[in-house]
Amino acid sequence: MIGQKGFALAPEGTVTTPKGFKAGGVHCGIKKVRRYDLGAIVCDVPAMTAAVYTTNLVQAAPLAVTRESIAREGRLRAMLVNSGNANACTGERGFTDAREMRSAFAAALGVPDHLVGVTSTGVIGVHMPMDKVRAGVGALANGLSPDGGGDFCQAIMTTDLVQKSVCVRLEAGGAAVTIAGAAKGSGMIHPNMATMLGFITTDAALNEGVLQSLLSETTDVTFNMITVDGDTSTNDMVVAMASGLAGNEPLHPGHPDWECFAAAFRCVSETLAKEIARDGEGATKLIEVNVSGARTDQDARAVAKTIVGSSLVKSAMYGSDANWGRIIAAAGRAGVPIDANTVDIRLGDIPVLQASVPIPFDEAAAKRYLDGSEIAVYVDLHIGPGKATAWGCDLTYDYVKINASYRT
């Protein structure tokens, strides 16, 4: 059933549900544990492709190689992904290995090299075991399937505890259209386009150029509004591929169905972003920070992300401590204008601060609320129309344990 927003979730769907896509995953030995570590999404036709990348000045070799591929004609047939090795800070050999991965998979598929993108996630500073990758590429190409979305999700996981996948359906341009997505990410999450990789597929036909604009704009309010630990990865990337096989009229911002399509695209991105935040390393709670009354939306984003990324706020949320002082302190250091005398704060439905003056509240009720697995914080600055939402997680002892021994 199509909902009030014009689209509906398809719980059974994966990245291969849109027409023209198949996927798969294999274990080739990059990881020591016997778990899938090489995966791919492949389209039957050259798919219109858009991408956004980490703004970290230290970038992994596969990002440059994928940029090369997309720049050629703006279309890809396939994305090849490995986990367990980031292929970052690996010198010229890293670029050689990334290009060899691209050419090997292209040969296995029988397509030109520039129609394949590659990306990697895992440990930084270790050369790719190319003998294992070469063997895995052939097995992966032979095992691709329209039912391979789950295997692909497993293949891209590192410290993730759960697979992250979403699919929506809608009517657009006179045809049934599907948008789906998969992502990985649990630690080193503070994207600026964590270690975060996102993949979005759709069978919609789109006018040239609009997919890149849509992806960039959507990323700013979804993937770029999450944080787990404040670290921006060398490998962050989100790629969107549109097969155009749905049979719809080409969509564009002036089309009457564009707003519905864009909303569905944002739903896919936001769902994946929130799942990454929820699955933060060691996390027990998803935290949502809603900021209103900022001077601009951009200012609201800065405040929301500063609050949700504060180690003190995150620790308080872990301990179910209604310490609103940490929230207003974080807002005040976000680097944008606020009026220190007009701030309201709520924890869920519990007001704790009004016009920057404390309000008596039931500490026991606040603790019961903060004991939950999902926490919403509301901050109204009362100085303008700007608003934004950011997502993160609590900071626990397990986060330190996981990252104290990540490489070893």
- pTM of the predicted model, to two decimals? 0.86
Reply yes or no on whether the pLDDT at 193 is more than 70.
Answer: no
What was the pLDDT predicted at 408? 54
Reply yes or no on whether the pLDDT at 87 is more than 90.
Answer: yes
Six-digit token string for 62: 């596969």
Reply yes or no on whether the pLDDT at 2 is more than 80.
Answer: no
Reply yes or no on whether the pLDDT at 345 is more than 50.
Answer: yes
What was the pLDDT predicted at 188? 47
What was the pLDDT predicted at 236? 80
Per cent of the chain over pLDDT 70 is: 94
Q: Using the Cα atoms of residue 205, residue 255, residue 180 and residue 389 in order, give the sign of their dihedral.
A: positive
Reply yes or no on whether the pLDDT at 231 is more than 80.
Answer: no
Per cent of the chain over pLDDT 90 is: 79
> Which residues are within 8 A (CB) of 47 and not within 5 positions of it... i.e. 6 or more apart?
20, 75, 76, 77, 201, 241, 242, 243, 244
* Distance, C-alpha 343 to centroid of its chain: 31
Range ranked top by mean pLDDT from 55-69, 131-145, 278-292: 131-145
The chain-wide mean pLDDT, for the chain, equals 92
pLDDT, mean of residues 296-321? 95
pLDDT, mean of residues 143-162? 91
Residue 244 is classified by DSSP as -
| pLDDT, tens digit (0-9, with 9 covering 90-100), for 234-289 | 678 899 999 999 999 999 999 999 999 999 999 999 999 998 888 777 789 999 99
> Which residues are within 8 A (CB) of 319 and not within 5 positions of it... i.e. 6 or more apart?
none
What was the pLDDT predicted at 76? 98
Strand order in the sheet with 350-354: 357-358, 350-354, 344-347, 374-380, 286-294, 386-393
User: Lowest mean pLDDT: which of 83-87, 172-176, 250-254, 380-384?
Assistant: 83-87
pLDDT band at 374 (very low <50, low <70, confident <90, very high): very high
- Expressed in percent and rounded to 5, the helix, strand and coil fractions of the chain are 35, 30, 40
Reply yes or no on whether the pLDDT at 3 is more than 80.
Answer: no
What distance in Å separates the CA atoms of residue 239 and residue 85, rounded to the nearest whole number? 19
> Of 152, 183, 135, 121, which is closest to residue 41 (Cα–Cα)?
152
Reply yes or no on whether the pLDDT at 195 is more than 60.
Answer: no
What was the pLDDT predicted at 230? 54
What was the pLDDT predicted at 278? 84
pLDDT band at 1 (very low <50, low <70, confident <90, very high): very low
The three-state secondary structure class of 38 is strand
What distance in Å separates the CA atoms of residue 386 and residue 301, rounded to the nearest whole number? 9
DSSP string covering 108-140: HHTS-GGGEEEEEEEETT----HHHHHHHHHHH
Helix axes 91-109, 130-142, angle to 10 degrees: 20
What was the pLDDT predicted at 173? 96
Report yes or no: 390 and 301 within 8 Å, Cβ to Cβ.
yes
| pLDDT, tens digit (0-9, with 9 covering 90-100), for 4-15 | 578 999 999 999
**Selected residue with higher pLDDT from 224 and 178:** 178
Report yes or no: 14 and 180 within 8 Å, Cβ to Cβ.
yes
What distance in Å separates the CA atoms of residue 5 and residue 23, rounded to the nearest whole number? 29
Reply yes or no on whether the pLDDT at 189 is more than 70.
Answer: no
| pLDDT, tens digit (0-9, with 9 covering 90-100), for 103-118 | 999 999 999 999 999 9
Report yes or no: 322 and 370 within 8 Å, Cβ to Cβ.
yes
pLDDT, mean of residues 110-135? 95
Residues involved in catalysis = 195
What domains are there in the chain, each with its CATH number?
A: 7-278 (3.60.70.12), 286-404 (3.10.20.340)
